[in-house]
Amino acid sequence: MKYIIAGIAVLVLPFLTKSKAGPSMKIDQPYTVDSLGACQGISYQDGRIFLYGDREVGIVREYRQQGDSLVYTNKEMKLTRNDTDVINHPTGFAWRKNAPFFIGISIRLNKEGTSWRAVIYCVDWKGLQATRRLDGNLLNTIEDDACIQGTRPEYVRYHEKWYVATADYGDKGNEVRLYDPKNLSKAKKTSDKGVLFKKFVCTPWVQNLYWMADKGLLLLIQDQTEGRKWRFTYVDLAASIASGKQEVVKIVDIDERQDELEGFTFIPGYSKGIAVTSSRRDNVNWMSITW
């Protein structure tokens, strides 16, 4: 009997160890940021914070951190060209220094959620910030036809090379896919040769992704059910690619919030973060993270 118990312990221990390796998370301070429409995501870039949403047109606004507040810098970018809305529902920013910049858009074409249109735009990010419009700054439009239910681009690093990861939203066949950024920037569709590198199966309702480079973890920013309740799923990227399915380190559910979680970013140091929702009130939420 003692050998059986010892064998069970050997099998169970790695999973317990993985669970303990993940963080605990709690909301410290929710507050409301206006003029975004329904906020769809957040991007932290070298001390600057960008919130994006779907006001009367797709919109990006820049903020700076002041304590536990975000201060608007009076810089607003409209995702329009020739005064026509182009990226009306942005669902992800893939930003990295000296690399192509991508914005995703996901549109449900029917109420059943069986038909989607997903597009990844390659954008001159510096140009967009300078002119505050897409005119002259929209470099390429890529149909994400390799997707199942939408697109949420984010840079990740795997085996010393950078890729653009993206994920599906719906409840069937969800995947995380890794695209070659150079080939993606020139492609017409993600099914073109040389674009898709690897993929693995993941759980439903992924709203956005966040890459934790020094930990090798990919954070799936999710809803627990369609459009409701917050979930943060930390997965081991390398292990997930190797197995073909998400290898979970920790799942953190925030049951106190019933609204739709859209995006999240850590502030450097991994002890603080900001979660954003599509709600009209309390759409920006400072969080504490304990490892």
- Which amino acid, residue 181? P
Dihedral (C-alpha) 16, 275, 278, 108: value to the nearest 10 degrees? -50
Do residues 205 and 226 touch, judged by C-beta distance below 8 A?
yes
Q: How far is CA 236 from the centre of its chain?
A: 16
Q: CATH: 2.30.30, 1.25.10, 2.120.10, 3.90.550. Which one for 2-290?
A: 2.120.10
Per DSSP, helices labelled H in the chain are 2-21, 125-131, 181-186, 237-243
Query: Domain limits of the chain?
Result: 2-290
Residue 21 has a pLDDT of 67
The tens place of each residue's pLDDT in the chain, 291 residues long, gives: 444 444 433 333 333 334 446 899 999 999 999 999 999 999 999 999 999 999 999 999 999 999 889 999 999 999 999 999 999 999 999 999 999 999 999 887 777 666 778 999 999 999 999 999 999 999 999 999 999 888 999 999 999 999 999 999 988 889 999 999 999 999 999 999 999 999 999 999 999 999 999 999 999 999 999 999 999 999 999 999 999 999 999 999 999 999 999 999 999 999 999 999 999 999 999 999 999
Cα-based distances in Å from 5 to 9, 14, 241: 6, 15, 32
What is the pairing mode between strands 24-31 and 284-290? antiparallel
Dihedral (C-alpha) 205, 103, 281, 283: value to the nearest 10 degrees? 70
* CA-closest candidate to residue 264, choices 17, 20, 23: 23
Residue 183 buriedness (CB in 10 A; 0-12 / 13-18 / 19+): middle
Q: How far apart are CA 15 and CA 203, in angstroms?
A: 18
Residue 113 has a pLDDT of 65
Cα-based distances in Å from 179 to 102, 249, 266, 271: 12, 23, 23, 30
Q: What secondary structure does DSSP assign to 124-153, as a single string?
A: -HHHHHHHSSSTTTEEEEEE-TT-SS----
Residue 17 has a pLDDT of 35
Q: How far apart are CA 201 and CA 274, in angstroms?
A: 27
Which bin fits 19, alpha (ψ -120 to 50), beta or left (φ > 0)?
alpha
SS3 content of the chain, % helix, strand, coil (to 5): 15, 50, 35
Backbone φ, ψ for residue 223 (5° rounding): -100, 150
pTM of the model: 0.91
